[in-house]
Every structure is written in structure tokens, then in C-alpha cells.
Structure 1
Amino acid sequence: MNDSNMFSLKDKVVVVTGGTGILGNAFVDAIVEAGGKVAILGRKKEVADERAAAINAKGGSAIGVVADVLDEQQLSEAKDKIVAEFGKIDGLVNAAGGNIPEGVLQPEQDIFKMNIGGMKKAVEINLWGTVIPTQIFGEEIVKTGRGSIVNISSMNSKRAITKVLGYNMGKAAVDCYNQWYAVELSRRYGDTIRMNALAPGFFLTEQNRNLLTKPEGGYTERGELVIRQTPFKRFGHPDELKGALVWLLSDASQFVTGAMICVDGGFSIFGGV
């Protein structure tokens, strides 16, 4: 392959779960900008359809697909719709997940009285919300002969981030799954399908904006702690995830599997001293 085309996603069809979120939107844009066709999958039909329409209006190729990543039937129906529209599926970005209130343990709460059901729910959406879509879409991706699956890890799986225990456990499980499944895919299918993870640092999203920044401007106490732990001394911008994602989806990373790429401003490696 010509080096100038290695990073191209031209003619590749990629499904993005959680495609209606802030980071999911950056992933969708990255795929389109690299020449790929994208299926924007999420539970918010209006948002998915709006984003797809905007892409198509600019000459790109996208469809909105409604499905819950924990619902196998809905995902199977989504797969059929995507294959009917594009003829194949080359890649998957498992961007659905995130923190939920029930999976949070506040400092003033009794550690032995945590919301077990809430913690399970947080693990479920992050872990099984990654595993189940892979089960459904993976069979199609294998057929292309050169496919790529990208999971979304987090700084929460590398360090003990206070309060968000459920999210910590869920993303740590994703890391384990990412390595285990990458090996098993290789043992069964050789180099025809790869699995890697992208680990964002702290980016401002709908879920964490109020935790990290003040409405009047500036950082909250928690936001200040994050900045102090980040050598770049700032939060990331969603667009700064695009390059790593396209690399992992493209043939430029064709000898890479089971890896985890941190895009974090140095957060994961800084000892704080």
C-alpha cells in the first residue's frame, strides 16, 4: 500500500456506538474526514439522524441507527440495517459507556453501604456495552479480511480515581477484555481482525463538565486536582482524539493489536512529584 494512503479510511464502513455523545461525535467526524462511511449508533434517534444528515449534506456518507448496546436484538436489527445500506462493516468503535450517578460513592457515604445495584449497572454499561456490540458486529467485520475494533478505555482504569468506583471497575474490565479478546481473535482469524483501545484523559463532556468546571468560569476543586496531575496543565479537546482513532482503524496500524493508546496530556504517567 502507498504510504500516503495508509491512514485513509476510504470505502471503509465503521460503526460508532455512543455516536450521539460528545466524544462519539468527534469519532464520527474523524472517520468521515478520513474518507470512511459511518453508522452513528445511539439511543437518541433525533441526534443520530441530525448528525448523519449534516454529514451527508457535506458530501459524506452516514446513517443514524437507534439501538441500546445492551440489547442484542436491537443490535442485530441495527447490523442488518447497516449491511443493507453499506454492504459490509469494516470497523467498530465501542464508544458507548460512561459514568452513572448510582455508580458513584461520595466521600461522606459509608463505604460498606455502597449502592451495589448501581455499581453493577455502571460495570454493565461500560463492560457489557463493549462486549455485546463486538459479538454482534464482529462477525461482519471478519468477512472484510482486514477489520479493526477500537474499545474506549479511560484514565480510571489506570489510577484510583475517587468517587467513581463503578466506572473505574467497568473500564478496568474493558482493559482486560481488550487484551484477552485481541489474543483470541488473532488465534482464530490471524491478522484479519484487530482489537485495540483508546484511553482518553480528561475531556470536558456533558457528564463531567459540572464536576470539573464552574458555571462562572474556572475549575472546581476536583478540576484543579486533575489539572495538577496533568503535565500539559489543561483538559483535552475532543478533536485531539481523532488522530489516534484513525490510526487504529486504518491499515497504518495493521501490526497492532491488544494495545492501549493513552491520549491524556501525560496524566497516566505523572507521579505527581
Structure 2
Amino acid sequence: MGFYINKTAVITGAGGVLCSAFTKSLSLAGCRVALLDLNETAVKEAAESIRKAGGEAIGIKADVLSRESLSAAHAIVNETFGKCDILINGAGGNNSKATTTKETYETGDIDDDQLLSFFNIDKAGFDFVFSLNMLGTLLPTQVFTADMLGRDDCCIINISSMNAFTPLTKIPAYSAAKAAVSNFTQWLAVHFAEQRIRVNAIAPGFFVTNQNRELLFNKHGEPTARTEKILAATPMKRFGEPEELLGTLMWLTNAKQSGFVTGTVIPVDGGFSAYSGV
């Protein structure tokens, strides 16, 4: 716990299932945590819960696609807790306008107005998904990494995805964006190595979140066909639990344990990336 005393962690996307678990874990380890999310109610309630448990936390409404919004959040963090030591870029997600109806193209799909095929993916939808995941990692890093320059024991954790290694069907924008996040993680690690800022990424496999729940289960709570395919390709035959990401997170943020680790993208996926399907 001692490593985290007097450390300030900033977490974007902190209103979500996975990143809210990150904030609690870092708080319990002694971090001051700043929760950033477009959903102001969610982060303020989460921050209040942490404070009631004895931690130091603030919830701030912030748009990861707005430099102005992030700069305002940065000023609040600096005034309340001081400089940022740990940045977790957790904001991201997909959009139905950038999701094809079918997994593979079939003859005639281009002329079927009832389908969303590759040929009529909405540009605005694709732009939004790519921006949310990639620019939503770039902009917070530009704003908060300024606090870390030349200081010891500072780090950035990006949230990539198993899509970055092998793209899933139907979600080309999300897969491409997460591949960009992984590549950007490596670029940042080299760029800031001489400033002693370590940069790594976690690539979760399949976890049930508020964003994907309706894709994974029908209104009766039964698994969808896509869920069955996912679990068939996951050797552990189940979804991950948010708490199962915390060991990797805490290891990567602790320079005493991972001080020579930078530029990595670590899968936490129940064996999904190791399974060939046969």
C-alpha cells in the first residue's frame, strides 16, 4: 500500500463497470482518485461511495473528446489533489451505426436497405467510435501527462481490447480503434521513456458491461447466439469478472513491481487469444 500513498490517479470512463472497479481498487491501495466521465451522476455517486469508505475521491464531468473540458477537469484535479501520477484511459465504446448486421457479406446485401452492410456503414458513426476510443485516449494523455514530466513513478495505463489482436466480426470501427490504442501505447512508451513515464495497456477479453449486456443476453437473460460463440472460443468457458483485471492493473501501476515494464499490451482474456478453435 505504501507505494500509492500521496499518489493521484485520474481515471476516464470511471462511470463504467470496469473503470469503477479500478477506482475502488486504487483508492483502497491509498490513491487519491479523480473519476472522470460524461455521466456526471455516475461518477459523483461513485466518488461519494469511496469517500464514505474512507478514501479520497472526486467525481468530475468531463468529455474525453474535448480538450477544453479535459483542461477544466485537470485544473480541478490539480487544485484538489495535486499533480496526476497515474492516468488510466478507460473511456471507450462502440456504436450501432458502425456495426454491420451480418458477420460476413452475402451476395445482394449491398442492395438490401434493411441491412447495415459494410457498404452503408455510417461515416459519422464510424468517426464517433474511432474518435471515442483513439482520440479519447490521445487528448487526456496530452492534458494529464504534462503533470508527469521529469517525475518518478508516473505511469499511463490504456485500455485496449482483444479486438486489437484479432478483430471481431461486425464491429470494424471498434476493432480498428483498439488496434490504434495498442499501437499508440507502444509509441507513447518510447516517446516518454527518458521522462521516466511508463506506458502500458490492458487488453480485456470478454466482460459483461452496461454497453454490451443487450448484445450478450436477450430480454429474458438468456445468452444470445453471439455469447455462445464467444464462450465456445474462450477456453475458460465464461466471461471475466471486473475484479479479475485488478491484479494486472495494480502490478502495472506499481513501479516497485513493474518498473522495467513499458510498451506492453497485456491480455486478460480467459485464454481467448491462445485458442485456435481446434
TM-score in terms of structure 2 length: 0.92
Structure 1 residue 23, shift from structure 2 partner: 0.9
2:143 corresponds to 1:148:
no
Between the aligned partners of 2:210 and 2:53, the Cα distance in structure 1 is 26
Between the aligned partners of 1:144 and 1:79, the Cα distance in structure 2 is 18
TM-score in terms of structure 1 length: 0.93
**Deviation per residue, 1:100-130 (Å, 9 max, x gap):** 1122111143322222221121111100000
Structure 2 segments unaligned to the other structure (5+ residues) = 103-114
- Structure 1 stretch displaced more, 216-225 or 259-268: 216-225
In the TM superposition, structure 1's runs of 4+ consecutive aligned residues that sit over 6 Å from their partners are none
Structure 1 residue 132, shift from structure 2 partner: 0.6
Report the aligned-residue RMSD: 1.3
| Secondary structure of 1:106 counterpart | coil
| Secondary structure of 2:148 counterpart | helix
Question: What pairs up with 1:242-257 in 2 under 5 angstroms?
Answer: 242-251=246-255, 252-257=257-262
Q: Equivalent residue for 2:200?
A: 196
| Secondary structure of 2:88 counterpart | strand
Does the 8 Å CA contact 1:89/1:144 hold for their aligned counterparts?
A: no
Between the aligned partners of 1:95 and 1:65, the Cα distance in structure 2 is 15
Q: Equivalent residue for 2:110?
A: none
Q: Equivalent residue for 2:108?
A: none
Q: Equivalent residue for 1:171?
A: 178
Match of 1:216 among 217, 220, 243: 220
Between the aligned partners of 1:154 and 1:95, the Cα distance in structure 2 is 11
2:6 corresponds to 1:11:
yes
Does the 8 Å CA contact 2:97/2:121 hold for their aligned counterparts?
A: no
Q: Equivalent residue for 1:262?
A: 267
Q: Which amino acid in 1 is paired with 2:4?
A: L
For these two proteins, the number of residue pairs brought into alignment is 265
Identity in percent: 42
**Deviation per residue, 1:201-253 (Å, 9 max, x gap):** 10000111111123323311000000000010000011111111111111211
Structure 1 segments unaligned to the other structure (5+ residues) = none
Q: Equivalent residue for 1:95?
A: 90
Q: Which amino acid in 2 is paired with 1:120?
A: D
**Deviation per residue, 1:152-209 (Å, 9 max, x gap):** 00011111201111100110110110111111111x41xx211000011100001111
| Secondary structure of 1:150 counterpart | strand
Q: Equivalent residue for 1:37?
A: 32
Match of 2:191 among 184, 187, 193: 184
Q: Equivalent residue for 2:65?
A: 70
Between the aligned partners of 2:206 and 2:126, the Cα distance in structure 1 is 21
